[in-house]
Structure 1
């Protein structure tokens, strides 16, 4: 799918942002670029286990930025599991964001920050309510998207002040991206011994959750009520964290926004020389003129070479594998783990937008559909009986196959094990965008769930803001109580596959009803399951 977007860019001059398909972006063209706003206010000092910090009093909330949650992964610590965070004795300035993790930041995506990038990037940001009269507050830990190659916890759209003002402590953070975060090589595997290898970015996520567990009480948070929440690659990360043994007990609720679930991550190694994460790592080392590379050889590669040109339109598949199933940290594909009931027993909200990838101009939908089918190992013919005609297939299938069907299936699997889960479908388009946009594209729900429409360019109406208020209320209520009951909002029933009811967020407001396109999604699920069974 990413390669298709790259082809569209090359052949037509369209950018992914204007197609509404930026996996890290928040509907850049549909919503307009973010407005970078830095809060100003008096300083405030608090103490965490590492030492004293000085943040900003923003009125109803206090903010603390650029707090290291692990040692800088530089030099000999590149491509190692995160090490303990540093300590200090002098007051540390926590009034401004730190560096983003190294990435090839494309100019077409103006939802990204323009902060410096470096390998020394493992920091987090905290917004906490000023008033803690009711006791420790629930905690929301946000994992950003970006296809595991882009993004940061410092993007303006992820400002946590509005959620914190509702009574939650909000944490955003950076994790290693691209080859810095996801890289396997036989030399590194041998060095790791019995320890996990390859998924350094996911290891960072667990390290951030450990930091929250150990430190958040000092900032007003309740370490026994931690919600991990993410969108796109961040949502996929949440799904894997529910199955990573080292993450158990570090969070107590999960929110998955457009997280997929049927993605097939490569294995660390494969028999017979088949493509694997290690073989891709060897190919990268060879491209750097390093045959039979040692760990010292690998760590001597200049950061710019490690970065390469990786972004959402330049996947560099021959030399970059992305996240992998290493067998010790990531032990299974998400859908397989959920089917066995191996996921963490925590309440979950899961859903997707109604037109994730369907906002592509009609001229290019066939290319995107072909690539989606190739990735899934399916043929057009196998899907024509489901969609009826080519135009409908091209318009809806990429979104439904990649995001919408997996979300509903994972909800059903979770509910089938007796676990509390709530399903939603986000189809709201801001009133000023409806003449140009047929549905809610990928990531357009994020400024609503953070209640940060004011960080977007463009005029937003009272109706738009009402939707943002409702989503933020639901999310904070879920973090607080483990169920998304919010005052003055419609009741949201717990998901049950027999009734198949979801929260529907659309032009008519917030309602509940049958999950959209249920028959079509059932047929897609049967097709995907049949394909998966045949591949085993």
Structure 2
């Protein structure tokens, strides 16, 4: 296998406009759609996979989309989910934000025809469960699909208060449903199963993939009976896998939101009549306050509801009970550095916040007798400068250790591939950001220059980045096609994880395989998953 040369990132219009050609018409279960193309790749954007979740459908499972008979224009993205403006997630200026956001996009090379049965990658974007959209420039799928080896689907889903607020303990029985955002993704996967052959994809070879909150959705659905059989491989990049809480904690968040809105719990039904922007703004206040009052927790996450999510996913993984599909999973070397630089409370990094978090964890999880003491944790990180100690502890408890706990259990039931992304450009090193959260994404997607204001490559590194991106794409695509995630004969082979070697692929200016890379972390934190209930 020869490592492909990654092409220069294409000019990326926000929507398919005058530079795009008219694409082919595909018949879906709801009606015909016509996409657009650039002579190499075709795309079909803004295809509804469910009805708009408005009015009585707020906080309910997605319902079937209305059908149409005339050919529907699918050259432009649908609306982004309702959300406030986030400092790290930039949406295109001309993309509408609306509750009518349950749409998806399909990308395929011109060489792919209906019935070709190419493997399918279904991508779930990140954004802390409150930000993001498929229309972000980063997720333009042309480079990723140009080789014709895969068909790509990117999925929009409800966010924040509209997607992850659990009102199920309020109102009449059955009036509100929990985990509606997860149900959105399940509905999108069902749409893929029913329709993807018309776009050249194989419904029996679907890889569910995501990053950050999107990866959290992936790992949660791997433990959900409702998702069984809807995907056949999984990719989870920087999954907050232990940030899934029970309904007692979810109820406290809901009461906080109701207080912010000035609504009595008995009048929760009034939220269905409120403007979506009002709900999003109240949710953002609670989102910002929650990790300050309760360090190490998020306001809006998947919830253990006893149905869609029967129990904590990490517990399911540890006992080998997740869906036995091959898994590619990993984290970045400096996950929390950007949060630290932005002074975001989302990840606790100060000694005070970390002590508050571990004290609360010990008080809540009396069923876990061997939670490390603060002194033991500090000893484990004694080799780091004091300013770097907090971010490293937060990184490992929030991202790296959950990943390792999942891998140890899942490797016993399915091929599992563990990585760590270490590459950072000279500029990111100078800024002391390094390989922070989400910095692997531009390389995977082949969209490495994020506009004129992007300073990532100002001090060099673009050539190395393109070669690294080529390797990442080759590995990820090979995995999606059912092969080992290798990049080529000249590059490091990537064997499946096993309890003896515990091999990790370190992705850097060159890739290398490291045996038992995380031994010091496992010794420090132990083998019992640590998480809030």
The TM tier, using the shorter chain, reads 0.7 to 0.9
- 2:511 is paired with a residue of what secondary structure? strand
Matched, 1:168 2:118: no
Tell me which of 348, 351, 354 is aligned to 2:327. Answer: 348
RMSD across aligned positions (CA): 2.9
Cα shift at 1:59: 1.9
Structure-2 separation of matches of 1:245 and 1:449: 30
Tell me which of 396, 402, 411 is aligned to 1:400. Answer: 396
Tell me which of 192, 206, 210 is aligned to 2:174. Answer: 192
- 2:62 is paired with a residue of what secondary structure? coil
Structure-2 separation of matches of 1:514 and 1:478: 21
Cα shift at 1:321: 4.7
After TM superposition, the structure 1 stretch with the greater mean CA deviation from structure 2, 433-442 or 209-218, is 433-442
Alignment of 1:84-123 (within 5 A): 84-106=64-86, 108-109=87-88, 111-114=90-93, 115-123=95-103
Cα shift at 1:472: 0.8
In the other structure, the counterpart of 1:150 is 131
Cα shift at 1:132: 2.8
Q: Judging changes above 3 Å, is the alpha-carbon distance between structure 1 residues 386 and 287 closer, same or farther for their aligned structure 2 residues?
A: closer
Q: Judging changes above 3 Å, is the alpha-carbon distance between structure 1 residues 368 and 162 closer, same or farther for their aligned structure 2 residues?
A: farther
| TM-score, structure 1 normalization | 0.83
In the other structure, the counterpart of 2:477 is 476
Cα shift at 1:320: 5.0
Tell me which of 442, 446, 456 is aligned to 1:447. Answer: 442
Q: Deviations over 1:328-380 (max 9, x none)?
A: 11122222111122200100001001111135359999844543453353653
Alignment of 1:45-84 (within 5 A): 45-84=25-64
In the other structure, the counterpart of 1:225 is 205
- 1:471 is paired with a residue of what secondary structure? helix
Structure 2 residues not aligned, in runs of 5+? 1-10, 362-371
Cα shift at 1:325: 1.2
Matched, 1:383 2:377: yes
Q: Deviations over 1:419-476 (max 9, x none)?
A: 1000001001135544334630000001111121144534452211000111011111
Cα shift at 1:512: 1.5
In the other structure, the counterpart of 1:301 is 274
- 2:33 is paired with a residue of what secondary structure? strand
In the other structure, the counterpart of 1:335 is 314
- 1:207 is paired with a residue of what secondary structure? helix
Structure-2 separation of matches of 1:255 and 1:209: 15
Structure-1 separation of matches of 2:102 and 2:139: 17
Q: Judging changes above 3 Å, is the alpha-carbon distance between structure 1 residues 307 and 487 closer, same or farther for their aligned structure 2 residues?
A: same
Q: Deviations over 1:239-285 (max 9, x none)?
A: 0010111111000000010003232x33224xxxxxx3234324433
After TM superposition, the structure 1 stretch with the greater mean CA deviation from structure 2, 391-400 or 113-122, is 391-400
In the other structure, the counterpart of 1:502 is 504
After TM superposition, the structure 1 stretch with the greater mean CA deviation from structure 2, 93-102 or 403-412, is 403-412
Structure-2 separation of matches of 1:530 and 1:442: 22
Q: Judging changes above 3 Å, is the alpha-carbon distance between structure 1 residues 92 and 35 closer, same or farther for their aligned structure 2 residues?
A: closer
Structure-2 separation of matches of 1:60 and 1:35: 14
| TM-score, structure 2 normalization | 0.84
Q: Judging changes above 3 Å, is the alpha-carbon distance between structure 1 residues 312 and 330 closer, same or farther for their aligned structure 2 residues?
A: farther
Q: Is the 8 A contact 1:285 1:293 kept in 2?
A: no
Structure-2 separation of matches of 1:309 and 1:289: 10
- 1:98 is paired with a residue of what secondary structure? coil
Structure-2 separation of matches of 1:186 and 1:113: 34
Structure-2 separation of matches of 1:530 and 1:296: 37
Q: Deviations over 1:460-508 (max 9, x none)?
A: 522110001110111111111153134454311111121011111113x
After TM superposition, the structure 1 stretch with the greater mean CA deviation from structure 2, 391-400 or 243-252, is 391-400
Q: Is the 8 A contact 2:35 2:44 kept in 1?
A: yes
Q: Is the 8 A contact 1:179 1:322 kept in 2?
A: no
Matched, 1:291 2:271: no
Cα shift at 1:521: 1.2
Structure-2 separation of matches of 1:366 and 1:323: 20
Cα shift at 1:391: 4.5
Cα shift at 1:296: 4.2
Q: Judging changes above 3 Å, is the alpha-carbon distance between structure 1 residues 363 and 104 closer, same or farther for their aligned structure 2 residues?
A: closer
